[in-house]
Amino acid sequence: MDPRLIPEVNIGTLGHVDHGKSTLVQAISGKWPAVHSEELKRG
């Protein structure tokens, strides 16, 4: 399939710490979004 024909969707998430934003993104995309060392330290 031509990559130019694949639809793209951007979704923004807002919320307080520990309200499940990263878990939601992982559930939708299958990829864990917290990739920076400081984010990983915080959990």
pTM (global) more than 0.75: no
Residue 42, pLDDT score: 72
Report pLDDT digits (tens) over 17-41: 888 888 998 999 898 887 776 767 7
What range defines the domain where residue 32 resides? 3-42
DSSP-assigned letters across all residues of 13-43: ----TTSSHHHHHHHHHSS----SHHHHHH-
- Over the chain, what is the mean pLDDT? 84
Specify whether the CB–CB gap between 34 and 40 falls below 8 A: yes
Overall domain count for the chain: 1
Residue 43, pLDDT score: 63
pLDDT band for position 14 (cuts 50, 70, 90): very high
pLDDT band for position 15 (cuts 50, 70, 90): very high
